Amino acid sequence: MSNHTTVTEFFLLGFSEVRELQILHVVLFLVIYLVALTGNLLVIIVVVLDHHLHTPMYFFLMNLSILDLGFISVTVPKSMANSLLNSKSISYSGCITQVFLFFFFALSDFALLTVMAYDRYVAICKPLHYETVMNRRACVQMAASAWVSGMLNSALHTGNTFTLTFCGGNMVDQFFCEIPQLLKLACSDSYLGEVGVIALNAFLGLSCFVLIIVSYIQIFTTVLRIPSEQGRQKAFSTCLPHLIVVSLLVFTGTFAYLKPTSSSASGLDLMLTVLYSVVHPMMNPIIYSMRNKEIKTALKKLIYSEEFLDKNYGMSATVT
């Protein structure tokens, strides 16, 4: 039997070693991260505080924002810290944690997007049954199912990946511990089990995507029959952004995980990974919520009420 060196840490080689480019990477990621953080936090706060938004659609949007905050926070802060410190290392246990949390948030995110497509289908195609079908209990069960399915799938992927023996070194050609890059380091054919799990999940994911597309065909067919132009516009404004977000996640994620792996990373690998792991969580609050009239109205009410309270508090303090 050949001896294998025990891996205790990995080195993330995703971005350039040129110091100026590392600083540029930090600045770009910081801007994206702050936009995602601000947008998702605003959605959560507004939905929680405004009772007019206590509806199934906004309940799911709030859950999506929570997942997106976790999704982007798993990879971006560590990547920025490594660039700032001119370091590329991540511990073995840190890599395990990153893989588990990344898959947990990503898969839960996609499951929730599928639930949201069903919610829009019922709301537009079967409006008379909406309150019965999408009652409070059903919404909580659907959201919980999305979170639990993500956790179980993530545990399966993480367990399969880290039971492997890594004998191809410890250099990961990405800015975080991405499974396809880790599988390049696995010995012989021992990684085929995880490849099978990835292929199965890709099939299930694409099946869900087909169901989403079929749902939206039904939605658009129904929308085109709406006599009111304002009604059509409102329906399209909530459904088209959803379809864009889902398509971005499905196509970039599927291509990144199913394309043949090469011995070295390419610019395409890096770009695809940034799209589905960094840009996607930032886009959700912009596409879904900041273009939404009800969210914007609730946000204005929250801002103006805070200003009103501040003014009143200042006046009372002056009188006192």
3-state secondary structure of 186: strand
Residue 50 resides in a domain: yes
Question: How many domains does the structure of the chain reveal?
Answer: 1
Which pLDDT does position 93 carry in this prediction?
92
Sequence length of the chain is 320
Residue 319 resides in a domain: no
**Does residue 126 carry a pLDDT above 60?**
yes
Does 252 or 264 have the greater pLDDT score?
252
Residue 106 resides in a domain: yes
Does 102 or 259 have the greater pLDDT score?
102
Residue 307 resides in a domain: no
Decide: residue 258, CB within 10 A, 0-12 exposed, 13-18 middle, 19+ buried: middle
Mean pLDDT of the chain: 82
- For the residues 128-145, what does the mean pLDDT come to? 93
pLDDT tens figures, 34-67: 999 998 998 898 888 888 888 898 999 999 999 9
Please tell me the least confidently modeled range out of 60-74, 168-182, 223-237, 245-259.
223-237
In which band, very low, low, confident or very high, does the pLDDT at 310 lie, cut at 50, 70 and 90? low
DSSP-based helix, strand, coil % in the chain, nearest 5: 80, 5, 20
Residue 188 backbone zone (phi > 0: left; psi -120 to 50: alpha; other: beta):
left
Please tell me the least confidently modeled range out of 72-76, 106-110, 151-155, 177-181.
177-181
What CATH code is carried by the domain that includes residue 291?
1.20.1070.10
CB contact at 8 A, 96 and 71:
no
Q: Out of 138-142, 167-171, 204-208, 238-242, give the one with best mean pLDDT.
A: 138-142
Please tell me the least confidently modeled range out of 209-218, 231-240, 269-278, 280-289.
231-240
Does 264 or 253 have the greater pLDDT score?
253
Q: Out of 167-171, 201-205, 207-211, 291-295, give the one with best mean pLDDT.
A: 207-211
Residue 16 resides in a domain: yes
pTM of the model: 0.85
Which pLDDT does position 208 carry in this prediction?
84
Residue 318 resides in a domain: no
Residue 4 resides in a domain: no
Could you tell me the residue range of the domain that residue 160 belongs to? 9-302
- Report d(CA 162, CA 158) in Å as an integer: 6
Residue 312 resides in a domain: no
Which pLDDT does position 1 carry in this prediction?
37
From 143, 63, 68, 149, select the one nearest 102 (Cα to Cα): 68
